[in-house]
Amino acid sequence: MSKLKVYADRGSEPSRAIIIFCNHAILRYLACSSPGIADHWYPADVFAQAKINSVLDWHHSNLRRGGVALIRNSVLARAIGVPPNPEAAAEGEKLLSSSLSQIESFWLEGNSKFLCGLSRPSIADLSLVCQIMQLEFLNEEDRERILGPHEKVLQWIKNLKDETNPHFEEVHEVLAKVRALLQQMGSSTELASEL
């Protein structure tokens, strides 16, 4: 979660090589420069782009900050060899819950299926849903406690799955594997402490 994402593209003109940092900048570049990408991912319309850019910029200091603080200071702490920090995890959960409420009340306008009132998903939907899917690392009870009150967010996730499957499941199947590994590590840690 703390690795710097980099994309390099030499295209057909090596003298115009470009190196791009940051997931959102990479998504924007690929959506604009790749032939055959459907317009709904990052519309040519400047007004729609501005709305999507607003979500992407908001994501960094809200949903991402809360989600990372919760996951890193709870379930991932043991896996990376540091003691869990319950206070930091609780603070992260508070920001995460606030962010989920903001998604429902602001970014999911009216009865729209996708962010920004759009009828089809955009790169903003992909970015935010991938952040939320990291909650799969939590146990079922904690995940339900955090996501359960946010029915609009849960419906939006379902809409994205329906719109993008089988790719959605393929991309996120690694989360189930990591969760199983984390649970196994937790079980072996608990067992070792009991001995």
| CATH topology classification for 40-194 | Glutathione S-transferase Yfyf (Class Pi); Chain A, domain 2 (1.20.1050)
- 157: tokens are 């996730």
Residue 9 pLDDT exceeds 50? yes
Q: Report the percent of the chain where pLDDT is more than 90.
A: 57
Q: What is residue 167's predicted lDDT score, i.e. its pLDDT? A: 92
> Which uninterrupted H or E stretch holds 151?
helix 151-164
Q: Residue 99: is it exposed, middle or buried by C-beta count within 10 angstroms (0-12/13-18/19+)?
A: buried
pLDDT tier for residue 27 given thresholds of 50, 70 and 90: confident
Q: Residue 162: is it exposed, middle or buried by C-beta count within 10 angstroms (0-12/13-18/19+)?
A: exposed
Residue 126 CB neighbour total at 10 angstroms = 18
The pLDDT of 118-146, averaged and rounded, is 94
Q: What angle do CA 109, 93, 137 make, to 5 degrees?
A: 95
Collapse the DSSP code of 8 into the 3-class scheme (helix H, G, I; strand E, B; otherwise coil) and give the result: strand
Answer whether 122's CB lies under 8 Å from 114's CB: yes
pLDDT tier for residue 107 given thresholds of 50, 70 and 90: very high
- 193: tokens are 């402490």
Q: What is residue 75's predicted lDDT score, i.e. its pLDDT? A: 87
The pLDDT of 155-171, averaged and rounded, is 95
pLDDT tier for residue 79 given thresholds of 50, 70 and 90: confident
Q: What is residue 194's predicted lDDT score, i.e. its pLDDT? A: 28
Q: What is residue 10's predicted lDDT score, i.e. its pLDDT? A: 59
21-34 in b/e burial notation, b at 16+ Cβ within 10 A? eebbebbbebbeee
- Return the domain boundaries, the chain: 40-194
Amino acid at 29: Y
